Amino acid sequence: MAVFRRRGFARTSIRDLAEATGLHPGSLYQAYGSKEGLFAAAVTTYNELVVEHRVRTHLDEAEPPLRGIDTFFASTFDDDGDDDSAADGPNPGCLLTNTAVEAHLLPGTSRDGVAAGLNLIEQGFQRVLERARQAGQINPTAATDQLAAQLLALYQGVLVLVRFGAPTTKLAAIVAHAVPAIIASGHHAEGST
Amino acid sequence: MAVFRRRGFARTSIRDLAEATGLHPGSLYQAYGSKEGLFAAAVTTYNELVVEHRVRTHLDEAEPPLRGIDTFFASTFDDDGDDDSAADGPNPGCLLTNTAVEAHLLPGTSRDGVAAGLNLIEQGFQRVLERARQAGQINPTAATDQLAAQLLALYQGVLVLVRFGAPTTKLAAIVAHAVPAIIASGHHAEGST
DNA sequence: ACCTTTGTTGAACGTTCGCTAAACAAAGGG
DNA sequence: CCCTTTGTTTAGCGAACGTTCAACAAAGGT
């Protein structure tokens, strides 16, 4: 899973995967049927182990709710993220983002996995925005589904820049301003009505 | 160039490129030295033919200035973009975005090309924001360099979702709300001071 | 016309790829 | 214990890969 995250599907060979898993090619084929099957399983596992965990930690359990959004973004480029990010070398970004740009060249199972992962994130954004609303942190009439979609787009963009190695200070500034701007647009637009 | 954009570096073979260019492998090697050299040249050409053109059309020449930002975003998923986008099949997104997530596995020349392209876009955003400021469309004290960085991140995220095949209506809604929210944050933050 | 330089072609090289199947090992059941 | 089933290993297959180079063609100069 980590190897796919760093190298992408096309550049990761079965031999790379054999080495990373400690299993030999025959076993991998026995278990997953093909390289694509293995990849789809890796995406699913990534969603379960990484995405769900991050969504739960930062979006479902953080207090105050809006603080969780900040840390969700910041943890993509801080060194306190998931295990893979702590490893030496360039930040691997997010398997979903890295895969999204090549997903149309993969079978539908991998694409469905990416879609599921993106949906986890978007729904997580929406839930935390609902919590923020109930906590009086944002306007009661803010369209949280719309805000969640916007945050997802921004999040993907930040991940691209993270992956490309943009300076951490720049990323932090982007997040510090753009996230509140988007969230506040619920306030602002309604406030001026 | 178009093949790289659709398939990425790793998945594009020299034979693909020979077919696309009409030149044989030996000629490609004579001219570019290696597959990586060819790729770096493709990124440079993409910046010159596609990115510069888009930046000039939408950001440098559009009136009113803020309208240009809208069309710059919208043309990533409308069918009236550059020639490649008009072709049949999934939207190829942006070569820079697609490359950014694998750039650390490529030589520095390609990475420099991606950095140059991203910079073209960011500087284009900043120039159009300056124009908007002079036209009285945004707050005179807005930090246009900061806004430009935020717009670049959002733009990259939109491109990821475009590439992944997100519904056009969803993308349009994201752009319609998030872009003005970010731009208005110059207004809003200063307005409340 | 002939020679030199530049550019192109096409076959083939060594390497790597995804994948397979026979051989082997481990686990389970009677 | 023996047999069957399941899982693993390992060598090797055919195909594809990036790249090279001898042969050929085209362009330029005298």
What pLDDT is attached to residue A191?
A: 38
Strand D contact set, beta carbon < 7 A:
A 23-27, 30-31; B 12-16, 25-26, 29, 34-36
Q: What is the mean pLDDT of chain B?
A: 89
Question: Which of A7-11, A148-152, B113-117 has the lowest average pLDDT?
Answer: A7-11
CA gap B49, B168 in Å, rounded: 25
B102 vs A contacts (CB less than 8 Å): 8, 11, 98
- ipTM score of complex: 0.90
For residue B173, give how far its alpha carbon lies from the nearest alpha carbon of chain A (Å): 8
Q: Is B149 exposed, middle or buried (0-12, 13-18, 19+ CB in 10 A)?
A: buried
Nucleotides of C under 7 A from a protein CB: 7-12, 16-22
The share of chain B scoring above pLDDT 90, in percent, equals 73
What pLDDT, in 10s, does the model give residues B89-114? Answer: 788 899 999 999 998 889 888 999 99
Please identify which residue in the block is written with the tokens 């096309």. A10
What pLDDT, in 10s, does the model give residues B17-58? Answer: 999 988 999 999 999 999 999 999 999 999 999 999 999 999
Nucleotides of D under 7 A from a protein CB: 7-12, 16-22
CB spacing of B160 vs A155 below 8 angstroms: no
Q: What is the mean pLDDT of chain A?
A: 89
What pLDDT, in 10s, does the model give residues A14-36? Answer: 999 999 988 999 999 999 999 99
How is residue A184 written in tokens?
């506040």
How is residue A69 written in tokens?
């959004």
Q: Which residue is nearest to nucleotide D17 (CA to C1')?
A: B13
CB spacing of A155 vs B157 below 8 angstroms: yes
Contacts of A169 (CB under 8 A, 6+ apart): none
Mutate to test the interface with B, among A12, A102, A175, A187 (most CBs of B within 10 A): A102
What pLDDT, in 10s, does the model give residues B175-184? Answer: 999 999 999 8
What pLDDT is attached to residue A90?
A: 84
Say if residues A68 and A89 touch (Cβ distance below 8 Å): no
**Structural domains in chain A, sorted by start:** 2-191 (1.10.357.10)
- DSSP labels for B74-95? HTTTSTTSSHHHHSSSS----H
Question: Of all nucleotides in the shown strands, which has a C1' nearest the CA of B27?
Answer: C8
CB-side neighbour CA atoms (13 Å) of B45 = 10
What pLDDT, in 10s, does the model give residues A32-61? Answer: 999 999 999 999 999 999 999 999 999 999
- Whole-number Cα distances in Å, A66 to A70, A71, A130, A135, B22: 7, 9, 10, 10, 55
What pLDDT is attached to residue A140?
A: 84
Nearest CA in chain B to A119: B166
